[in-house]
Amino acid sequence: MAADRGDRERVLVTWIDYDPDGSRTGARLRDAGLAVHCEPKLGARSAGEVGRLAAGAVAAIVSTDPFDRSVFAAAPELRVIARVGVGTDSIDLDAATEAGVAVLVTPSGNRETVADHAMALILAALRRIVEHDASVRRGEWRRGGDLMAWDLHGATVGLVGHGEIGRAVARRLEGFGVHLLVSDPAARDGESVPLDELLRRSDVVSLHLPLARETRHVIGGRELALMKPHAVLVNTSRGGLVDEAALMARLSGGELRAAALDVFEDEPPSTVRDLRRLPNVVLTPHVGGLSEGSVAHMTEQATSHVLAALRGRPPIGALANPAVLSGERRR
């Protein structure tokens, strides 16, 4: 839908919870002489669809829409992409830089919210919350046996990645009396170990890495085989970190106790039907970073980023492609 039309320069908004009339969001754009055009991302979108939506826009406030070279070619007026969140794996940063488009993220906007969700998934998997909920709804009262829950206290928890979110999870784990392992050259807390050792020793493995070429399928068949049969894998980062087919095989074969996933290789996930059949998997729809507070903060921040970038002053700390500042816009 279009919030307003006319001869104003246009801002495309695909973030589903953006308020086009909010005093701290859309109204600020209109006060700056911009038109707000909302096309919420409700499902998977192709680059071709994004290109058609972005054509004529000078800025975009986006979800996980794909921005590849074809999109930049279709939207030659585009000057800034403000991502609500911190992930940029759906945006070709090299192509954006070559096109002179600043890509901005909302750093720290959802750090604590993601950490809360990671803890919720860890506890849901270990305490078997989803399975017990389904059992009670069926009219059962199974307090033990094959639905006996497991402990977090005293467990060895491995964090793969120790950036802002990983450290926030580590802080929360301090109160549970766990032994903390960390696989990250920049680790500040816990016992720092190589990834293979972390996988062999951990009862719970929680992923906190960005998705890049070197991290895609960082947890594949070989890595899953290193994990204990009673271990639990938790992913609140990016689905592409995990080989889902290998994960499903180990979960189905009883070679891995459980998994808790907020993110998937394809979103919406094409494999969710298979995952959904497994009782030892907790699934959420990539909502780890979303809460009333975090969404309000991130949408306000993304709006500020658009306004600053269009004035030629993009905030350096939020730039995902700082090299864009060193060259002239290529059109």
The class that CATH gives domain 9-109+291-326 is alpha beta
Residue 238 known to be catalytic: yes
Residue 331: what residue type? R
Residue 258, pLDDT score: 98
Residue 330 has what pLDDT? Answer: 52
Tell whether the model's pLDDT for residue 6 goes beyond 80.
Answer: no
Angle, vertex CA 312, rays to CA 307 and CA 314, nearest 5: 65
Question: Residue 246 — very low, low, confident or very high, per pLDDT cuts 50/70/90?
Answer: very high
In the chain, DSSP finds a helix count (H) and a strand count (E) of 12, 12
Q: Decide if 208 is catalytic.
A: no
- Boundaries of every domain in the chain: 9-109+291-326, 111-283
In 3D space, the residue among 265, 272, 266, 230 whose CA is nearest the CA of residue 251 turns out to be: 230
- The helix or strand, by DSSP H or E, that contains position 162, with its residue range, turns out to be none
Residues 255-308: tens digit of each pLDDT = 999 999 999 998 877 765 688 899 999 999 999 999 999 999 999 999 999 999
Domains 9-109+291-326 and 111-283 fall in the same CATH topology? yes
pLDDT at 271: 61
The active-site residue out of 208, 238, 250, 297 is 238
Q: Which two tokens stand for residue 179?
A: 């032994």
Q: What is the mean pLDDT of residues 146-170?
A: 96
The full DSSP string for 26-72 is HHHHHHTTEEEEE----S---HHHHHHHHTTEEEEEESS--B-HHHH
Mean residue pLDDT across the chain: 93
CATH of domain 111-283: 3.40.50.720
Given a contact cutoff of 8 angstroms between Cβ atoms, the answer to whether 136 and 160 are in contact is no
Res. 328 pLDDT band, cuts 50 70 90: low
The Cα 320–Cα 46 span in angstroms is 22
Cα–Cα nearest to 243, from 230, 228, 257, 261: 261
C-beta of residue 316 within 8 angstroms of C-beta of residue 140: no
Looking at residue 206, the DSSP 8-state letter turns out to be E
| pLDDT on residue 4 | 47
pLDDT band at 187 (very low <50, low <70, confident <90, very high): confident
Q: Measure Cα distances from 305 to 24, 68, 242, 246, 249 in Å.
A: 12, 21, 32, 40, 43
Q: pLDDT digit string (tens) for 20-69?
A: 999 999 999 999 999 999 999 988 899 999 999 999 999 999 989 999 99
Please pick, among 10, 117, 286, 297, the residue that the annotation labels catalytic: 286
**pLDDT band (50, 70, 90) for residue 327:** low
Mean pLDDT value across residues 309-328: 91
The pLDDT of residue 1 is above 50: no
| Contact partners, residue 189, CB within 8 Å, separation at least 6 | 162, 167, 170, 180, 182
Q: Residue by residue, what is the 3-state secondary structure of 125-146?
A: HHCCHHHHHHHHHCCCCCCCHH
- Active site includes 286? yes
Where do the DSSP E strands lie in the chain? 9-13, 34-38, 57-62, 80-83, 102-104, 156-160, 179-183, 191-192, 204-207, 232-235, 258-261, 281-283
Q: Are 260 and 122 in contact (CB under 8 A)?
A: yes
Q: How far is CA 289 from the centre of its chain?
A: 7
As a whole number of angstroms, the distance between CA 102 and CA 292 comes to 27
Q: pLDDT, tens digit, for every residue of 63-112?
A: 899 999 999 999 999 999 999 998 899 999 999 999 999 999 998 889 99
Tell me what the mean pLDDT of segment 214-218 comes to. 96
Q: How far apart are the first and last CA of the chain?
A: 29
